[in-house]
């Protein structure tokens, strides 16, 4: 009996250390992306949606395969692809969807932009969706230069590569109802194919290949913003998160030495603000005031005193409603009524949650590596490594 108990105890202790990673390894998302079988076929990105027609081609020969095993060979050049009664028309041939188009050099052109991997084209009525199917690491090469400046130090780029990879996998089923994983706009992650690739960013992707940020065995929510204004913030004030993950609570950011976004100011016409808030049916604005601030100095609410009453808005929602490119943050240092205009001044750029990109840049210039950068902005998270090699 004692021997059996001892055996169970030993087995239990052997199994225990692996429990922490069990959730992640079992996650279908990670498993699919880093399995050998799917190595060349891991993410499906909707690059042209609901289109009447697109120009597709390659600088080498390329092949078109339809759902009923019909195969057409094209020598280099371009052809027109459109949808017709749920079928796909390629050149003069009407084919059954989904149609796969693959070039011999794995570089395919869609409306004069080059994409790695291959295309899958589906039709709904007379509209086609063009989906780029490619390995996740190649996809990230096209994403990174859109998220960060390619001239920044390698360690800051590597931190961003881990963030983008983690985000990709965490959101992989965002567009599953439409037959692809992620779209190529700001709704998911901006992706412009191989044309936008920069060697420094591609190296950062390669050097962190397969690395994902996790917390307690789950993929972390790797949100980020341009410039925190001195301290990142708890997301509970701006997003309706019931429980804030401990790694997103907000950290001090002593950096931003050269950032052009640390201080900003703008004058916005009063009638522009009234128009933007038209759903609230406000009258002439008398004053705009900050109502309550977070521990880091960001506004919680904005109070608008107008001729028809008082409107109280979430400060982050106010910024998004007016124009987030004009009002760069909800960390106001001054709001003044100038008559026909309102003057806003503030600190930072973005929502202040998660990694601060300009802080990460300065950390990299001060000698921190990407792991130190990630741990600073997402404390208590862990890097995990996956490989399909
Ligand atoms: Zn999307
Ligand atoms: Zn910062």
Structure tokens at 278: 């038209």
Q: Average pLDDT of 90-111?
A: 96
pLDDT(71) > 90: yes
Residue finishing a domain among 310, 332, 347: 347
Split at pLDDT 50, 70, 90, the class of 28 is low
Q: Are the C-beta atoms of residues 207 and 158 closer than 8 Å to each other?
A: yes
DSSP 9-45: HHHHHHHHHHHHHHHHHH-HHHHHHTSGGGTT--EEE
pLDDT(24) > 60: no
Structure tokens at 337: 């009524």
DSSP 315: H
Tens digit of pLDDT for each residue in 30-66?
Answer: 766 777 666 666 899 999 999 999 999 999 999 999 9
Asked if residue 269 is part of any domain, the answer here is: yes
Higher per-residue confidence, 13 vs 41: 41
Ligand 2 centre from 283 Cα, in Å?
A: 37
Tens digit of pLDDT for each residue in 222-262?
Answer: 999 999 999 999 898 887 777 889 999 999 998 776 788 88
Among the bound ligands, the one closest to the CA of 259: 2
If one counts the domains in the chain, the total is 2
Ligand 1 centre from 146 Cα, in Å?
A: 15
Ligand 2 centre from 362 Cα, in Å?
A: 9
Tens digit of pLDDT for each residue in 286-323?
Answer: 999 999 999 889 999 999 999 999 999 999 999 999 99
Chain-centre distance for alpha carbon 331: 23
Asked if residue 292 is part of any domain, the answer here is: yes
Nearest-angstrom CA–CA distance, 41 and 138: 11
Nearest-angstrom CA–CA distance, 317 and 271: 18
Q: What is the dihedral of CA 376, 377, 378, 384, to 10 degrees?
A: -70
Residue finishing a domain among 134, 166, 194: 134
Q: Average pLDDT of 207-236?
A: 93
DSSP 258: T
pLDDT(7) > 60: no
Predicted local distance difference test score (pLDDT) of residue 110: 98
Q: What sign does the dihedral 349-355-356-358 (CA atoms) show?
A: negative
pLDDT(171) > 60: yes
Residue 39 pairs in a beta bridge with: none
Ligand 1 centre from 18 Cα, in Å?
A: 34
Segments forming the whole domain that contains residue 89: 43-134
Asked if residue 101 is part of any domain, the answer here is: yes
Asked if residue 325 is part of any domain, the answer here is: yes
Instruction: Enumerate the H helices of 188-243 as residue ranges.
Output: 199-207
Residue linked to tokens 């929602």: 317
Predicted local distance difference test score (pLDDT) of residue 135: 94
Asked if residue 299 is part of any domain, the answer here is: yes
pLDDT(367) > 70: yes
């Amino acid at each position: 009996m004692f021997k059996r108990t001892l055996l169970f105890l030993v087995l239990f202790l052997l199994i225990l250390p692996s429990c922490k990673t069990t959730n992640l390894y079992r996650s279908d998302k990670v498993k699919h992306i880093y399995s050998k079988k799917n190595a060349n076929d891991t993410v499906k990105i909707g690059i042209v949606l609901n289109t009447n027609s697109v120009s597709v081609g390659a600088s080498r020969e390329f092949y078109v395969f339809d759902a009923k095993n019909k195969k057409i060979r094209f020598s280099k050049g371009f052809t027109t692809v459109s949808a017709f009664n749920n079928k796909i028309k390629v050149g003069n041939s009407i084919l059954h969807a989904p149609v796969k188009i693959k070039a011999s050099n794995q570089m395919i052109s869609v409306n004069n932009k080059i994409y790695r991997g291959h295309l899958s084209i589906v039709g709904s009525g007379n509209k086609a969706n063009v989906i780029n199917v490619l390995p996740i690491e190649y996809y990230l090469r096209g994403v990174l230069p859109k998220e960060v400046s390619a001239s920044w130090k390698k360690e800051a780029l590597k931190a961003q590569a881990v963030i983008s990879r983690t985000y990709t996998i965490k959101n992989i089923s965002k567009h599953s109802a439409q037959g692809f994983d992620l779209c190529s706009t700001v709704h998911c992650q901006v992706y412009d194919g191989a044309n936008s690739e920069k060697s420094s960013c591609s190296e950062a992707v390669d050097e962190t290949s397969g690395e994902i940020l996790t917390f307690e065995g789950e993929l972390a929510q790797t949100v980020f913003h341009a410039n925190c204004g001195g301290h990142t913030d708890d997301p509970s004030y701006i997003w309706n998160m019931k429980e804030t993950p401990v790694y997103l609570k907000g950290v001090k950011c002593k950096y931003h030495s050269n950032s052009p976004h640390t201080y900003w100011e703008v004058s916005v016409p009063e009638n522009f603000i009234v128009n933007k808030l038209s759903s609230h049916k406000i009258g002439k604005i008398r004053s705009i005031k900050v109502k309550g601030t977070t521990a880091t100095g960001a506004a919680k609410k904005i109070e608008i005193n107008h001729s028809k009453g008082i409107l109280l808005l979430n400060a982050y929602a106010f910024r998004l409603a007016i124009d987030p490119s004009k009002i760069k943050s909800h960390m106001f240092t001054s709001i003044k009524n100038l008559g026909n205009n309102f003057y806003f001044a503030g600190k930072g750029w973005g929502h202040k949650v998660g990694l601060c990109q300009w802080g990460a840049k300065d950390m990299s210039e001060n000698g921190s590596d990407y792991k130190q950068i990630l741990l600073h902005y997402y404390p208590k998270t862990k890097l995990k490594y996956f490989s399909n090699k």
